């Protein structure tokens, strides 16, 4: 083969190798989307049916996306990002700019407004919660799930039902607990409550102890 032909052949081989590397990187990035989607839904305690109603995407498609059996595309990811109130980059794991500000949109769940204070959908999550004022006294409905949670009351009075404990927390008080223990919290009276919630995977603990007072009889 003539030298010029050798040069062309080598160039084509390099292009093919480069294309293969790029495709591998894309496949790796897309494969990482599935666990992020699952983590976001679990953090919000949404069912697949809830997410389907919010996005218009079928339950079966969402299930395949979370299992990594469906290749994600913008047509699917954009409505999911809007439903969760997070940037598309959070689903794709793209690198953020050097702007450290968290700009995730708030969302409402169980009548509470959640303002995300962290970007990533996995690992430790932080939220500023606002429980609006109201005259109706909520009925405790304790739930359990995997994880560990910390609460810090910014303003108002928060009622925390944890296992056999029924407590009222005031501004400046904190609590931590294993979320496998039945738990529930809401405002203690009619006034609004603001608090910070940190939620982490099972096994993570913060060494802050609560100073709490039992509910008055």
pLDDT tens track for 5-21: 555 555 545 444 444 43
Q: Mean pLDDT over all residues of the chain?
A: 78
User: For residue 163, what is the DSSP state?
Assistant: T
Q: Is the confidence at residue 177, as pLDDT, over 70?
A: yes
* Residue 53 covered by a domain: yes
Q: What is the extent of the structural domain holding 72? A: 3-92
- The count of other CB atoms within 10 Å of the CB of residue 163 is 11
* Residue 174 covered by a domain: yes
Residues 205 and 152 in one domain: yes
Per-residue pLDDT of 50-66, as tens digits, reads 999 989 999 999 999 99
Residues 38-43: contacts with CB within 8 Å, 24+ apart? Answer: 38/66, 39/121, 39/122, 40/84, 40/86, 40/90, 40/91, 40/121, 41/66, 42/145, 43/121, 43/125, 43/199
Q: Is 5 exposed, middle or buried (0-12, 13-18, 19+ CB in 10 A)?
A: exposed
* Residue 54 covered by a domain: yes
Mean pLDDT (whole number) for 173-185: 94
Residues 28 and 87 in one domain: yes
Whether the model clears a pTM of 0.75, i.e. scores above it, the answer is no
Residues 209 and 129 in one domain: yes
- The pLDDT, as a whole number, for residue 217 is 45
Residues 88 and 132 in one domain: no
Question: Where do the H-state alpha helices sit in the chain?
Answer: 3-31, 33-43, 48-55, 59-67, 74-84, 88-92
Q: Is the confidence at residue 100, as pLDDT, over 80?
A: no
The rounded distance, in Å, linking the Cα atoms of 46 and 40 is: 9
* Residue 78 covered by a domain: yes
- The count of other CB atoms within 10 Å of the CB of residue 48 is 17
The count of domains in the chain is 2
- The pLDDT, as a whole number, for residue 63 is 92
Mean pLDDT (whole number) for 127-134: 93
- The pLDDT, as a whole number, for residue 87 is 76
Q: Is the confidence at residue 182, as pLDDT, over 80?
A: yes
Lowest average pLDDT, out of 22-26, 134-138, 185-189, goes to 22-26
The rounded distance, in Å, linking the Cα atoms of 2 and 6 is: 6
Per-residue pLDDT of 142-175, as tens digits, reads 988 888 899 999 999 999 999 999 999 999 999 9
Quick check: 112 and 157 in contact, CB under 8 A? Answer: no
Lowest average pLDDT, out of 112-121, 137-146, 168-177, goes to 112-121
Which are the contacts of 139, defined by CB distance < 8 A and separation ≥ 6?
none
């Amino acid at each position: 083969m003539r030298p010029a032909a050798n040069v062309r052949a080598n160039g084509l081989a390099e292009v093919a190798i480069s294309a293969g590397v790029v495709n591998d990187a894309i496949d790796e990035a897309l494969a990482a989307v599935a666990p992020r989607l699952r983590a976001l839904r679990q953090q919000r305690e949404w069912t697949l049916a809830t997410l389907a109603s919010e996005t218009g995407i079928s339950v079966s498609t969402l299930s395949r996306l979370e299992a990594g059996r469906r290749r994600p595309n913008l047509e699917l990811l954009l409505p999911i990002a809007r439903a969760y109130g997070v940037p598309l980059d959070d689903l794709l794991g793209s690198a953020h700019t050097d702007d450290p500000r968290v700009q995730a949109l708030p969302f409402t769940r169980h009548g509470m407004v959640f303002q995300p204070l962290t970007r990533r959908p996995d690992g430790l999550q932080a939220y500023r919660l606002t429980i609006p004022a109201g005259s109706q006294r909520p009925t405790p409905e304790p739930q359990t799930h995997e994880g560990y949670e910390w609460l810090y009351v910014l303003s108002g009075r928060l009622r925390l039902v944890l296992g056999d404990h029924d407590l009222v927390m005031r501004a400046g008080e904190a609590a931590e607990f294993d979320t496998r223990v039945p738990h529930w919290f809401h405002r203690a009276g009619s006034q609004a409550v603001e608090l910070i919630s940190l939620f982490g995977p099972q096994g993570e603990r913060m060494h802050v102890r609560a100073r709490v007072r039992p509910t008055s009889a």
